[in-house]
Chains A and B, each alone.
Chain A
């Protein structure tokens, strides 16, 4: 290693475009975490930043039916087929250590949740908030569009309730959410999760943990090679 490499090495940046109402985004998050953990002591330092993406802008703000009912109606798919899909996702999530309850999921727009993620980023707590909102949505049946519920999760993470309310009611971060979505469009991102490693490698979908391990190892080796 170059003698000055220690001074110039920065964490490997991992940019992730994802939505809250995205079952494969939560699973992909776990796979990424697993891929990093699998490298053990050899794991490079990483810096993870989540970017907003709205999968379904036409989703009603407060759809009162179940996810199965919504998808069946919106896509013209038989209920049995949708239920089969949900069960498959639930099984894959369980294999990743996640507990999905689609019977509880409150299908809704996610923009306010994304605004909260940007507020959390300003507090250095974006990763924790992403985890909290995904768990709320898929496991607990939380309403990620309702300001009062969002404030509750903000407070859980140590963010002041009044600040959270002001930020969400004023739409302080709405432009940042839209900027993320516009950036995804400019990058040609058509589905999520979408991972960008070190601004260089693109990874689409909830890839297995080994894929993340492999890419991170390669990037670290490329950096070592450049610093030598």
Chain B
């Protein structure tokens, strides 16, 4: 694996894409409340 190789996983993902792991704490909106980890706002 080269230094630049994107870390990814296709395990347990319902999408047809190779999911890039990136920052697992990256924020996403799902429904009318956006996911904001509690720790991030304390």
8-31 of chain A: CB within 8 A of chain B: 19, 22-25, 27
CB-CB nearest 9 A-B residue pairs: A188-B14, A202-B17, A205-B26, A56-B32, A191-B30, A191-B28, A205-B28, A211-B22, A207-B22
Interface bin, chain A:
35 or more
A89 to B32 alpha-carbon distance, docked (Å): 14
1-42 of chain B: CB within 8 A of chain A: 4-6, 8, 13-20, 22-23, 26-36, 40-41
Main secondary structure of the interface of A (DSSP, over half): mixed
Is A66 interfacial (CB 8 A cutoff)?
Answer: no
Chain A: minimal CB distance from B14 (Å): 3
Out of A23, A56, A189, A194, which one reaches B31, CB within 8 Å? A56
* B37 to chain A: closest residue by CB: A88
Main secondary structure of the interface of B (DSSP, over half): loop
Contact A85-B23, Cβ < 8 Å, known A24-B29, A214-B4: no
Is A144 interfacial (CB 8 A cutoff)?
Answer: no
Contact A201-B8, Cβ < 8 Å, known A188-B14, A188-B15, A211-B20: yes
61-80 of chain A: CB within 8 A of chain B: 70-71, 74-75, 77
Out of B6, B13, B14, B33, which one reaches A215, CB within 8 Å? B6
**Which chain B residues have a beta carbon within 8 Å of chain A's beta carbons?**
4-6, 8, 13-20, 22-23, 26-36, 40-41
- Chain B residues near A215 (CB-CB < 8 A): 6, 20
Chain A: minimal CB distance from B22 (Å): 4
Instruction: Find out whether the CB atom of A187 lies under 8 angstroms from the CB atom of B16.
Output: yes
148-202 of chain A: CB within 8 A of chain B: 187-194, 196, 199-202
* A24 to chain B: closest residue by CB: B27
